[in-house]
Amino acid sequence: MDVAEATATQQTFDVERVRADFPILRQQVHGHPLVYLDNANTTQKPQAVIDALSDYYLSSNANIHRATHLLSERATRAYERSRVLLQRFINAGDSREVILTRGCTDGINLVAQSWARPTLKPGDEVLISWMEHHSNIVPWQLVCEQTGATLRVVPIDDRGDLRMDEFDRLLTERTRIVAMIHVSNALGTIAPVADIVRKAHAAGAVVLLDGAQAAAHVAVDVQALDADFYAFSGHKMFGPTGTGVLYGKAALLDRMPPYQGGGDMIASVTFEKTTYNSLPYKFEAGTPNIAGVVGLGAAVDYLNSIDRDSARAHEDGLLAAATEQVATVPGVRIIGEARAKTSVLSFVMKGIHPHDIGTVLDNEGVAIRTGQHCAQPVMDRYGITSTARASLAYYNTASDVEALVRALHKAQELLG
């Protein structure tokens, strides 16, 4: 989308109405209106989510699935309602396939330990990409150490696109699982996940997709994608921290042993033999983040209440405008120019450390992230140690982009 199209889209999406739902955005930071461009790190929460959390504690707080009293029934109903909302949000066929987790990291570790650890043998391979978040690297390194399997990595090209020729070469009959990022948090690349799933299945491998950066930005349909596992975090899609989802196909989840032992995940316990609860509870040991899950349900309700296609077009327009304008700041080099991108603009500035860019921007009220973004191999790939990263949500505006560019010019004047 070019800037003219972007401007037209921005006129059809009522961003000011949406912004009014996010109270945190109304504040001043260092004497400037807050410009929040750190959404890939975590998103802000609409009033509806904040209200759901406080309403839960004001009127329904109790433990779930256990007691017979009214509050426990209310809490259980609210918790399970969120599961169904999340099931519909990703178009899973069955709510038993929606495991409520602490976040994306938790979901990936669950698959690594509960599916991969009992499955992998020496000689088997796990295939990931060069643009994974550490959360989709380290769990596989751990399980490779535990099982003797080998980790293989698909490179990316200079633009930040996955090298599909290398994917085709590295995907063999030894590949047991392909674990791929859906949207890169460091580069914004949207990976060709439909193609990846199709090819992996043809090679006999199962597929896990890391949807941490996708859920808030692109429509996710796990049945259409045919993903075997899909993990994401609540806090990156306007919900509370400490919540997330692992989707898994029931046929796979049913055969997997529990991840953790404890309350709620059992059918019966004796010292001689314990039997496990049915899906999804088999994978939800202990008291979960009940309030958080209720809040995540409110976040899904909120997302359902906005026109997500227009929101996406609005974000795409802002990304196009930001990319064009940031590139004109002297000394800027954009990191990540993939053909399909969403919401993330990473860059470096000649002679200025990204942390210093971050500090100057913060003084101007502009919040971005600087560092390696938990994606050190991506930094190594580009021969840099870190980037500055502006990341968008649909509540950002054209004037946020202008403030970013103004502040970058200031950083250039002060430090360049």
Ligand X SMILES: Cc1ncc(COP(=O)(O)O)c(C=O)c1O
SS3 category, 197: helix
Q: Which of 43, 185, 323, 342 binds ligand X (CB under 6 A)?
A: 185
Which of 76, 82, 87, 105 binds ligand X (CB under 6 A)? It is: 105
271-300 positions binding ligand X, by CB under 6 A: none
Residue pair 184/155 in contact by the 8 Å Cβ criterion: no
Tell me, residue by residue from 219 to 248, as one string, x for binding to ligand X by CB under 6 A and - for no binding: --------------x---------------
Name the residue type at position 300.
V
From the CB of 409, what's the least distance to ligand X, in Å? Answer: 29
**Applying CB under 6 A, which part among 45-53, 111-119, 205-213, 399-407 lies near ligand X?**
205-213
Nearest approach, Cβ of 103 to ligand X (angstroms)?
A: 3
What token pair was written down for 307?
């026109």
Q: Give the nearer residue to ligand X in terms of CB position, either 75 or 388.
A: 388
Q: What are the b/e assignments for 77-88, b being 16+ CB within 10 Å?
A: ebbbebbebbbe
| Residues in the chain, total | 416
Cα–Cα distance list, 156 to 163, 236, 293 (Å): 5, 25, 36
* Secondary element (H or E) of residue 412: helix 398-415
Q: Please state the φ and ψ torsions of residue 30, each to the nearest 5 degrees.
A: 50, 40
Q: Which two tokens stand for residue 163?
A: 């090298």
101 lies in the binding site for ligand X (CB under 6 A): no
| CB nearer ligand X, residue 242 or residue 365 | 242
Cβ 156 to ligand X, closest distance in Å? 14
Annotation says 374 is catalytic: yes
Pick from 210, 228, 316, 364 the residue near ligand X by CB under 6 A: 210
114 near ligand X, rule: CB under 6 A: no
391 part of the interface to ligand X, by CB under 6 A: no
To ligand X, the closest distance from the beta carbon of 186 in angstroms equals 8
Residue 356 DSSP one-character state: H
Q: 220, 276, 225, 280: which is closest to 99 by C-alpha?
A: 280
CB atoms inside a 10 Å sphere around CB 262: 11
Catalytic residue selected from 1, 3, 374, 384 = 374
Show the binding pattern over residues 360-379: x = contacts ligand X (CB under 6 A), - = does not: --------------x-----
Contact call for residue 104 and ligand X (CB under 6 A): yes
Number of alpha helices (DSSP H) and beta strands (DSSP E) in the chain: 16, 17
Work out whether 10 is an interface residue with ligand X (CB under 6 A): no
Burial of 367 (0-12, 13-18, 19+ CB in 10 A): middle
Taking CB under 6 A as the criterion, which residues in 117-146 touch ligand X? 133, 135-136
Give the helix ranges, DSSP H, for 235-342. 250-255, 290-305, 308-326
Q: Which of 43, 113, 213, 325 binds ligand X (CB under 6 A)?
A: 213
Q: Does 212 bind ligand X (CB under 6 A)?
A: yes
Those residues with Cβ within 8 angstroms of residue 113's Cβ, 6 or more apart along the chain or in another chain? 139, 143, 259
In the complex, the smallest distance separating the C-beta of residue 24 from ligand X, rounded to whole angstroms, is: 19
* Residues in CB range of 145: below 8 A, 6 or more apart: none
Minimum separation from the CB atom of position 312 to ligand X (A): 18
Rounded to whole angstroms, the Cα distance separating 334 from 341 reads: 13
Site string for ligand X, 11-30 (x = CB under 6 A): --------------------
Least separation in angstroms between CB 133 and ligand X: 4
Residues annotated as part of the active site: 374
The site for ligand X (CB under 6 A) is made up of 103-105, 133, 135-136, 181, 185, 210, 212-213, 233, 374
